[in-house]
Amino acid sequence: MLPSDKKWFNEATLECGSAFSLTITEKLFEEQSPFQKVEVFATEKFGNLMTIDGLAMLTTRDNFLYHEMMSHPVLYTHPAPKRVLIIGGGDCGTLHEVLRHPEVEQVTQIDIDEVVTKASRLFFPELCESNDDPRATLRFEDGLKWVKEAAPGSYDVIIVDSTDPIGPAEGLFGEAFYRDCAAALGENGILVQQSESPLYHLELLCEMNRFMGRAGLGHRQTLHFPQPVYPSGWWSCTMASRSPIGAPRDEAAAARPFDTLYYTPGTHHGGLALPPFVSRALAAVYEE
């Protein structure tokens, strides 16, 4: 049993019969936007915790795992990533990591909910340090509509840094959206999207791959990495492209002009080494 003299944030994954808890000391922020309820708590061991509709989004202590793996693998895989689109990503951590790449010339971030960025500026200011970079444009609009209306070949990389496929994010996991992304990507363009837990959400991961393939993104790579505050503590992202996805640019990654806490060429290759039960499930999708 959890100690009764503590206050706890609890997130239950009912379909998997599990839960994750953090000790909290106080609530720092609460605002109901037109789309979702955003809260921030101070925790005893994980720094600040942001939740959306009661689900953990990030903490001070471990967000680097997710943000680094959502940005650096794809940028060190594309041969020349200059034009980047981020769908979602309102906490701005992925934006911050992308802008550490000097070869990136422009980044447009489209998040539907300005309240998320407001909360991040207040309680995760280290993630928002690059918001005023002249290469960055932040818009608070519907990402589905933005991609649908994008000019063909507009982007080298599209990063879908979304919440789970419920509520405002549901459409970001559908075939129509992937078809629009395929059209918006230039030659050798790569889409990368967070693809949930390989352990808890393997069916969803396979469905995403199926929809990506049907939308013309016939080449895919899934990477896995730890993420303690997400269900199962084990997460993934999936890259997809119309063209064959090349090997990581290891020399460039090794010579990166910035420090990282998790990402290295080794963790990049390690993330691509899927366990057999995941690779078998995805192989079955590719053969359909």
pLDDT digits (tens, 9 = 90+) for 19-74: 999 999 999 999 999 999 999 999 999 999 999 999 999 999 999 999 999 999 99
**The predicted structure's pLDDT at residue 5:** 80
Q: How many domains does the chain have?
A: 2
Q: Is residue 139 a part of any domain in this protein?
A: yes
What's the rounded Cα separation, in Å, for the pair 71 and 146?
20
Q: Are residues 25 and 98 in the same domain?
A: no
Which positions are annotated as active-site residues?
161
**The predicted structure's pLDDT at residue 288:** 84
CATH of the domain at 46: 2.30.140.10
Q: Are residues 172 and 221 in the same domain?
A: yes
What's the rounded Cα separation, in Å, for the pair 227 and 66?
7
What's the rounded Cα separation, in Å, for the pair 221 and 76?
14
Domain boundary among 59, 77, 95: 59
Q: Are strands 55-59 and 234-241 parallel, antiparallel or unpaired?
A: unpaired
> Identity (one letter) of the amino acid at 168?
P
Does the CA dihedral 216-71-55-12 come out positive or negative? positive
Domain boundary among 21, 43, 59: 59
**The predicted structure's pLDDT at residue 28:** 98
Q: Are residues 30 and 120 in the same domain?
A: no
Q: Are residues 11 and 79 in the same domain?
A: no
Q: Are residues 255 and 199 in the same domain?
A: yes
Q: Are residues 24 and 127 in the same domain?
A: no
**The predicted structure's pLDDT at residue 131:** 98
Cα angle 86, 48, 9 (rounded to 5 degrees) comes to 105
Q: Are residues 162 and 257 in the same domain?
A: yes
Q: Are residues 34 and 123 in the same domain?
A: no
Q: Is residue 1 a part of any domain in this protein?
A: no
Q: Is residue 176 a part of any domain in this protein?
A: yes
Q: Are residues 71 and 151 in the same domain?
A: yes
CA distances from 47 to 42, 61, 102, 125, 232 (A): 6, 6, 30, 13, 20
**The predicted structure's pLDDT at residue 97:** 98
Q: Are residues 51 and 67 in the same domain?
A: no
What's the rounded Cα separation, in Å, for the pair 254 and 56?
32
CATH of the domain at 80: 3.40.50.150
pLDDT digits (tens, 9 = 90+) for 95-127: 999 999 999 999 999 999 999 999 999 999 999
Q: Is residue 193 a part of any domain in this protein?
A: yes
* Rounded-to-10 torsion of CA 92, 80, 82, 58: 0
Q: Is residue 138 a part of any domain in this protein?
A: yes
pTM of the model as a whole: 0.96
Q: Are residues 51 and 88 in the same domain?
A: no
Average pLDDT, the chain: 95
Q: Are residues 118 and 249 in the same domain?
A: yes
pLDDT digits (tens, 9 = 90+) for 183-198: 999 999 999 999 999 9
**Could you tell me what percentage of the chain is helix, strand and coil, using 3-state DSSP and rounding each to the nearest 5?**
35, 30, 35
Give the range of the structural domain holding residue 27, as residue numbers without chain letter: 7-59
Q: Is residue 2 a part of any domain in this protein?
A: no
Q: Is residue 234 a part of any domain in this protein?
A: yes
**The predicted structure's pLDDT at residue 207:** 94
**The predicted structure's pLDDT at residue 166:** 54
Q: Is residue 115 a part of any domain in this protein?
A: yes
